[in-house]
Structure 1
Amino acid sequence: MIVESSSDSARKTFFRVLGPLRVCSGTREAALPESRQLIVLAVLVTEVNKAVPLGRLVDAVWGDTPPVTADKQIQTCVWRVRKALVQAGSRADLIETVRGGYLLRLPDGSVDTQLFEQLRERGRLRARAGDPVGAVADYRAALALFRGEPLAGLASRALEPVAAYWAERRLTLLEECFDVELALGHHRELVGELSLLVDEHPLREQLRWHLMTALYLSDRRADALAVYHAGRAALISHVGLDPCARLQELHQRIIAGDPVPVPEAVAYPGPALRGVS
């Protein structure tokens, strides 16, 4: 369960990485230094409560071509980050100097990625317990934490896998959320959102399956078939493959006018199949 921290919650420092890096202490946002310090802070936040070796910070900032003074410059970066956090109202000891590196020590729930995981897990528990409405509320609250691409604007090869990981977590949760919402009969409301996502991720077959299903259940059979053929063309063009068996099966059901199955991952006490509404 997500709970605010105790009496000092007004001064609690909260870090956002699911978008451009932002730090708030209470109601104040920290005026963060220039990009080099931002990269150092981003690495510490994404490794929260873990000791980060100095060499990892050097690599994140300069890659394979660090200057001779890299270690000293990292120390200066950390000093400036500490100063910016304190000026925003944070405690002075958030970033600790440890043997061979630094550690950002925070209570649970101080980073948006932690809240995302808590909400995602609670939503899954609700879905399994037969509370799809509650599950959707938690899933949507988790997804609302994203304010754009994770760690947007930070030019660091070391941070690229981290940003890609959280972008994938978002898409996976969206797919779980669509499963529940389709089971609830929200197909008409989902068509617009799904259309945009399929345009952004044309090779992501699960999203295309959701869009085809939502269109078919909204009495838009021809549009559902068009989405299938566009996806097939994209897959053949980019990777030389036909759509997966699940998409092909859905395509055949739509051609035949047969009912389509409710997503299997949802613990929702509804019928095994839904026909066209």
Structure 2
Amino acid sequence: MRFRLLGPLTVEGAEDPLRLDGRRPRAVLAFLLLEAGALLRVEQIVDAVWGDAPPRTVRTQVHAQISVARRWLRALPDVRIVTHATGYALQVAPSDVDVSVFRQLVRQGRTLAGTGQPAEAAEAYRSALGLHRGEPLVDIEAPFAAAAAARLADERLGALAELIGLDLAAGRHHDLIPALSALVERHPWHEPLWCHLLVALNRAGRRGEAIRCYQRARRLFRDELGVEPGSELTLAYRSLLTGGPAAELSGEMARTLNRLSEAERILGEVRQQLSRLGLDGWAARPNPVAPPVPPRSSDGGATDAEIAA
């Protein structure tokens, strides 16, 4: 990979990483990389990099920062910024951008898990998580960066939860309990992690702790969000109380969560395409089938060593 965004922005040339100086051109290049292949209107770049109060000369500044980015990319074959009548597009192979590779590996993991190849799926997830070298876009200062970094951190956390589900199915519940206990402290609104912790405690013979775990999660959701736990966590708890087949339930939960995550990703891509076509009003409409998702904090971009991989 030549371009890394899952951590500090890095562009690797033929021999050594290129030196990237300047806050604005770094932000412009990062935004182009996140939207690689798409035509970005000048107005989109202005909103992303300069925000709501751009200077009067902002269009000239956009052209200047694009020129700087082109100089950085000059030594890289098959990578170029193309000028269109209304904006710019970065032409780069998806395999050259770590964000694209991460998403491809996660999709591969979901496909493998859904076709009964858990070991291969786990390897794909571990490879994806290994691409994170810290907080995404950690050194990019621009209005778009915070939201983009939060989205990438959420994608990472989702992939981590799916990997944990596979490891639980493989019988690693004893090893996973300490890591899961730490993860729910850092991400208390991430229900799949609570589900996994409940199942892991139950399988380890710590039924009383599993019951207290559910009660704590329920109080947290009710007191802080005003909602009851979702169906996956509720089913896991009922299985715990009735002595049902927790292993089969966990596998079914993992498959359900995978399908929901993939549907959410596809809907997000559709909305982005609609926005690029100027149909922002439609794209901004709330999803009629998805419940609101509470904000989540980042886990610091830690690697999958958290789960004793």
Corresponding residue for 2:23?
35
Q: 1:161 to 1:264 in 2, by over 3 A?
A: same
What does the per-residue CA deviation read over 1:67-116, in whole Å, with 9 as the maximum and x for residues that have no partner? 11111112221222223344xx4249622222222221112311112211
- Residue 138 of structure 1 and its aligned partner are, at CA, apart by 0.6
Q: Is the 8 A contact 1:108 1:114 kept in 2?
A: yes
d(CA) in 2 for partners of 1:70, 1:183:
54
Q: Is the 8 A contact 1:119 1:142 kept in 2?
A: yes
Corresponding residue for 1:54?
42
Equivalent of residue 198 in structure 1, options 184, 191, 195: 184
- The structure whose Rg is larger is 1
Q: Any stretches of 5+ residues in structure 2 without a counterpart?
A: 256-309
d(CA) in 1 for partners of 2:92, 2:216:
47
Which letter maps to 1:66? Answer: P
Q: Is the 8 A contact 2:73 2:79 kept in 1?
A: no
Q: Is the 8 A contact 1:123 1:139 kept in 2?
A: yes
Corresponding residue for 2:158?
172
Structure 1 residue 23 corresponds to structure 2 residue 43: no
RMSD: 2.3
- The higher relative CO (CA closer than 8 Å, separation ≥ 6) is in 2
Corresponding residue for 1:7?
none
Moved >6 Å (runs of 4+): none
Q: Any stretches of 5+ residues in structure 1 without a counterpart?
A: 1-12, 268-277
Q: Look up the SS of the partner of 1:29 in the other structure.
A: coil
Matches within 5 A, 1:1-277: 14-86=2-74, 89-91=75-77, 94-260=80-246, 261-264=249-252
Structure with more strand by fraction: 1
Structure with more helix by fraction: 2
Q: Give the structure-2-normalised TM-score.
A: 0.74
Q: Give the structure-1-normalised TM-score.
A: 0.81
Q: Look up the SS of the partner of 1:65 in the other structure.
A: coil
Which letter maps to 2:88? Answer: Y
Between 1:76-85 and 1:66-75, the stretch displaced more is 76-85
Q: Look up the SS of the partner of 1:103 in the other structure.
A: strand
Between 1:206-215 and 1:233-242, the stretch displaced more is 233-242
Identity of aligned residues (%): 35
Q: Is the 8 A contact 2:78 2:92 kept in 1?
A: no
- Residue 23 of structure 1 and its aligned partner are, at CA, apart by 1.5
Q: Is the 8 A contact 1:179 1:263 kept in 2?
A: yes
d(CA) in 1 for partners of 2:211, 2:254:
25
Corresponding residue for 2:281?
none
Q: Is the 8 A contact 1:54 1:100 kept in 2?
A: yes
Which letter maps to 1:58? Answer: V
What does the per-residue CA deviation read over 1:157-202, in whole Å, with 9 as the maximum and x for residues that have no partner? 3344433332232222223222222111121222233222211110
